[in-house]
Structures are given as structure tokens and as C-alpha cells.
Structure 1
Amino acid sequence: MKICNRPVTTAAILMAGLLGSAAYAAPKGTVAFLMPDQASTRYEEHDFPGFKAEMAKLCPECTVVYQNANGDVALQQQQFNSVLAQGATVIVLDPVDSAAAGGLVNIAQSQGAKVIAYDRPIPDTPADFYISFDNEAIGKSIADSLVAHMKAAGVAEGAGVLQINGSPTDAAAGLIRDGIHKGLESSGYKTLAEYDTPEWAPPKAQQWAAGQITRFGDEIKGVVAANDGTAGGAIAAFKAAGVAPVPPVTGNDATVAALQLIIAGDQYNTISKPSEIVAAAAAKVAVQFLNGETPAAKTELYKTPSELFVPAVVTAENIKAEIFDKGIQTAAEVCTGEYAAGCKTLGITN
């Protein structure tokens, strides 16, 4: 056999066939990464960079489209329709409104596209896969940690706590809330008041907390806040009211601001859940879908095959080991200005 007048050996034909097969099997396509809001800096600073980096490794020929809905349900729907029109066959969706997202799943699946629910589940309409940290476990962990701290500090049973939840349209916030309830229900402490924070907005959490400080005063012995933004809002309310020291306040996300508050002694705990972990897992599942594979699920939530990662509680006692020794943040990023002395006390150095 000859090609271009040059003899071709059987081995060469086989090698060409193998290379051609490999090239043909290499994944290609458009994958969309749609995030819900900019109230938290995590999406631009951690989630999308982590997803993009993993996609570049697993599927260098793929096109990755990133959009953020900035808390606007209608805008997210427009973005969803837009990426479908651009040919996206896999959409990683962190919904602004978990209930409304069911319609988006139906639209995508009717067009043969796969939807990976990300961070926030979509309870009413099963997506093709769900990837997140275990949100109910997060809620229970931060509540358990606060309760243990209060008991160790000698806070008597019957004392009061505030509970600040996340957005009422976010199913993940509902799971965190449920976990907090489980952590508090047998604690011996009473919940003075509870609030669902629209859009997770810290100013709204601060405004609500200020009202409760006026209402309950020094009856408030602790605050279970569902994330670092709402925690920061609550802490700001206590400081504005002249409360010192601030009662222990929980958080979640391990933002730089929260880590600084923990170092300063103003926030009690947070949750370390490096977004890059779930972002990379979402990229792996997306590439499996592009290859026509069925990703293996570790569990199931809302009738959706799922993978849930285990979070770690961070306090001043383990912040060095969990955050800095593991390279999640650096002292140069966190131990600035007024926080340098606190870092030195905790053994956190450059």
C-alpha cells in the first residue's frame, strides 16, 4: 500500500490508526460555569479559577464560558439561554433561586445538554449531577462548635443565641439552616430569634442583628451565622452598639475578612472549604459528560447523583494548621496592618 507515493508499513498504519483514534476521542465542546452572585468574592477568586484550571488540564480544546448573575434570577435565565445558544452541552449551575432553576434544568435536558448543580442543590427537578460541600454538615458543625465553646466558657443552660441564616431562595442555605437546628436543638441554649437573610446580603444581616441587640441586649450569648458575610454583618452591629466583647459568632467560607476577624478575636469560627476542590470535581464530571460517560456518584440528594465533600471547622486554635500550613491562604495576604500582632501571637508568620 502507498500513500503519497511513499511505502507505508503495517506498523505505521496501526500507529496512525491509534493516533487518529486518540485524537478523535479527545474531548471537545463548550462548557458553561454560571455562578449566582457577587456578594461573596469566592466565585471570582476561587471557584472559577479552580474550574478553569482543571478544565485546561482535562480538556484543553474545550471552550469555557463564565457568567455571574449578580443575584438576579432573570439575568441568570438570560445567561443560561445564551450559553445554550452558544452550544454549551454541559452547564455547571449555582442557582440564584433553587426553585426557579428547575425550569432551567428542563430546558437544558430537552436540548440534550447536561446540568451539574453546583454548591446549591435544585430540589424540585433532578439535575444530572450535584457537587458541593455537605451543607447540612456545615450548619451542624458550626453550631456544635459554638455550643462546645459556650459550655467551656461556662455559659449557663437556658442562655440565648441568635440564628442568622442565608438566602430564603437558596436551597443550600436551607440545608445549612437545618444543620444549625440539629446542632442547637439539644444544646440547652434557646434561640432568641432567627432570620433568613435576603440574597445573603451582609448589610441586611447587620440591620437585623442591630434590632435584636436593641431587643435582647446582653441576653445574647452567641450568634450562629450561616456564612462569613452575615457573620461580619452581625459583628459590625455589636461593635456599633458598643458591645464588648462581641459574643462568639460563627461563620462559613474562610474568607480573608473572616480569618482576620478570627485572628482579632471578633469571630469565633468559620468553615474551611476550598472552593477549588469542588470546582475541580465539577470540571471532572463535566469532561466525563462530554465523553458520553456516566459519572460515579458517592451519594444521592434530591434524587440527583451527588458528591459531597466534608468541611473543616476553623477557630483560632487550629487556624494556623488548617489555613496557613495547608497553603489555603498566606500570612502575606491575611496578616496585614492591625492583624499582624494577632498573627504573631498565633504563630502565623511569612
Structure 2
Amino acid sequence: MLGSVLILAMLFSPGCSTGPEKNSPAGKNGKITIGFSLATLQEERWQRDMDILVAKAKAKGADVIVQNSNNNIDDQIKQVKYLLDQNIDILLIVPQDAEKSAEAVDLAKKKGIKVICYDRLIKNANTDFYVSFDNTKIGEYMASMMVSKVPMGNYIIVNGAKTDYNSYMYNQGYKNILDKYIYDKSIKIVDEIWANDWRPEDSFKCVEKALQGGKKIDAILAANDSLAGAAIEALSEQQLAGKVSVAGHDADISGCQRVAEGTQLMTVYKPIDQLAEKAVDVALGLLKNNYYASNTYISDGENDIPYAKVEPIVVTKDNLVDTVINDGFHRLEDVYLNVPRDQWPVK
């Protein structure tokens, strides 16, 4: 126990460690316990999500038990069982698999535990709430920025994992913008892949293969900054970094550094602070009032799920200071680490 927050980042076998002993709806210490099941901590942003959400919950008097399944759906389901055995009051889940995670929801429902999808939607599971960004808009922002820079040419699309429904929403956003350019043959999609478990090496191999095959590449849409970074690494081996426009999102420090350096056209800042606070507020509202107001809904395939939507923000070389730096997400000296000091902007 650290303060009033319990963080268990690995899978524990039954009987190893217990959460707060509870009487419904909160433990004997009078606090609500939130179970937070993460699919991964592979990307920088998920570590931030975990840290910020735990801090937000603590500030509102709640305990959090965290589990990380390292992109293994079987482990995630086992970890959800573990969380339920700790008598959590509510479950927040970042599903590793948009369809198979429905089993975890079913386990929670059988125990009368409400489930909130955090950032990623679970299909056909009728969860109690979905808290995320406007993921289709993220794809639209990326594609709009790209066509303004490269209105004609050969594009590669590196999608995220097929098991993550967000990947499809980003892709829909791309297509909402690109379709008319593809139709009039201004833009040609010369390759499109889906990165298994969001693995950067899939992005690297895709771009490397295209270049080795003699394909001319003008633009790359990559579904996050890790995939964008791997694409740029492949470009750099052919001295093409900065010459081919690449878009990513998440505003990871490495992505923001590449934007500052000019090797990545843009990223998208997702205010995790707002997302985490909204998730905690929804959780506490559902527990205390059995209700949290929402005017927005999203279909999970079978059901309309209440949707708390946080707006994403486009980040380019021109507004790095006004966005991620002034918001305290990154420090100026970290973002411009690889840029000569005399080229740093005035904060």
C-alpha cells in the first residue's frame, strides 16, 4: 500500500496479495476501490495514463488496484478475475482484444460490478460507459494535415492492431478525408498494413520492404508515434527522413522530438489528464448515483454505450509550445533536446 493507493502491476496468483477488505459498496476503510486492467504499458502514454489515473483517484479518496497484461488477452482475463476476487467496486478496462475482452465484462457483470471501457471499446459487451477521445477525429486530423502537405502522391497507411477497435476508428477518419483524393487518383495507397499488437517492427518492415521494392513514397500515416518512429527509422536508412512526410499520434516525447526536428510532420496530443479525471468521475458517479449523464453514445455493435468524449489536439512544429509544453505534458528542453539551442522557441 502506497498512501491510499494500491498498485499491482503484475499478475498475482490467488492468495498472494489482497486489496482492501471490503463491505459493499466500499471497503472497511470507507474507500471505494477501482480495478484498473491495462492491456499494455508498452507505449509511453499508457504509463502516463496509469500514473495520472491513480493520482486522480487518490485525490478523490479512492484506492486503485492496477494490472498490466502485457498484450496477452488470456492474462488480462485472469487478471480481471483477480481484481474481482479483491472485491473491487468498479472495473476500468483497457481491452487487449475488442472482442475477446467481452468475457471479462461478463465475469464482472455476474458479480454485479459495473464496467467502464477506458480509451478502447469492447465490442458487443454492453459495458456501462466508454471514456475516450474522439478517435475518428484523430484520424481525420492526421489525414487532413497530410493532404494539406502532400495533396498528390503515394501513401502508406500503417494501422494499429486489428484487435483494438480504436485502430478501425482512426482508419475511418483517414478514409473520410482521403477517399475523394483516392477517387480522383490524386493519391494512391501503395501499401496498407495492420501492426500486430501495435509492434513498431511491423511498421519498419512495411516501409523497408516498400523502399527495397523501388516504390516511391510521399507520405505515411502511422496510427501512433511508435509506429511513426519505426517508419522514420526505415526512411532514415535510405536518407529519406524528413523528405517523406510522416504523421503519428499520442504526442509521445519521441514523437514530439521528431516534430521539433522536422522528421515527423505532426502528432496529436491527447490530454490524458482530462481523460483520467473523466474516467474517475464517471466511476464515482456510477457508484454513488448509479448514473452519469451523457449526451453522446457509441455503438458497440449491439448496444448504444454512453460515451464521454475528450477532444484531441493537433500538434505541429508551429504549436509545440502552445500545446504539449505549455500544458505541462513535456518540458521544452526535452522536446528540443536534439535541436540547436539557438533554434529553440521562446516559451
Task: Give the TM-score, by structure 1 length.
Answer: 0.85
Contact 2:143 2:221 in 1 (8 A): yes
What SS does the corresponding residue of 2:139 show, helix, strand or coil? Answer: helix
Cα pair distance change 1:235/1:291, threshold 3 Å: same
Cα drift, residue 89 of structure 1? 2.1
Alignment of 1:16-55 (within 5 A): 28-44=31-47, 46-55=48-57
Contact 1:54 1:284 in 2 (8 A): no
Q: Quote the Cα distance in structure 2 between the aligned partners of 1:28 and 1:287.
A: 11
Cα drift, residue 340 of structure 1? 4.3
Cα drift, residue 216 of structure 1? 4.3
1:294 to 286, 291, 295: 291
* Percentage identity across paired residues of the two chains: 27
What SS does the corresponding residue of 1:305 show, helix, strand or coil? Answer: strand
Larger Rg: 1
Q: Quote the Cα distance in structure 2 between the aligned partners of 1:265 and 1:139.
A: 21
Partner residue, 1:86: 86
Given the alignment of the two structures, is residue 166 of structure 1 paired with residue 160 of structure 2, yes or no? Answer: yes
Q: Quote the Cα distance in structure 1 between the aligned partners of 2:68 and 2:209.
A: 32
Partner residue, 2:98: 98
Q: Quote the Cα distance in structure 1 between the aligned partners of 2:213 and 2:139.
A: 25
Partner residue, 1:240: 237
Alignment of 1:2-151 (within 5 A): 28-44=31-47, 46-58=48-60, 60=61, 62-151=62-151
Q: Deviations over 1:207-256 (max 9, x none)?
A: 12111122243x21100111101000100011112325430100000000
**Paired positions, count:** 313
1:183 to 155, 159, 177: 177
Unpaired segments of 5 or more residues in structure 1? 1-22, 152-156
Cα drift, residue 323 of structure 1? 1.7
Partner residue, 1:229: 226
Cα pair distance change 1:68/1:250, threshold 3 Å: same
Unpaired segments of 5 or more residues in structure 2? 1-25
Cα drift, residue 292 of structure 1? 3.5
Cα drift, residue 27 of structure 1? 6.5
Q: Quote the Cα distance in structure 2 between the aligned partners of 1:102 and 1:340.
A: 50
Q: Quote the Cα distance in structure 1 between the aligned partners of 2:111 and 2:346.
A: 52
- RMSD between superposed Cα atoms in Å: 1.9
Cα drift, residue 182 of structure 1? 1.3
Partner residue, 2:15: none
Cα drift, residue 138 of structure 1? 0.4
Partner residue, 2:7: none
Contact 2:241 2:263 in 1 (8 A): no
Cα pair distance change 1:52/1:245, threshold 3 Å: closer
Partner residue, 2:331: 330
Contact 1:31 1:88 in 2 (8 A): yes
What SS does the corresponding residue of 1:132 show, helix, strand or coil? Answer: strand
Q: Quote the Cα distance in structure 2 between the aligned partners of 1:164 and 1:184.
A: 14
Q: Quote the Cα distance in structure 2 between the aligned partners of 1:348 and 1:226.
A: 31
What SS does the corresponding residue of 2:157 show, helix, strand or coil? Answer: strand
Letter in 1 for 2:132: S
Q: Quote the Cα distance in structure 2 between the aligned partners of 1:271 and 1:190.
A: 24
- Out of 227-236 and 176-185, give the one that drifted further: 176-185
Task: Give the TM-score, by structure 2 length.
Answer: 0.86
Q: As a proportion of its length, which structure holds more helix?
A: 1
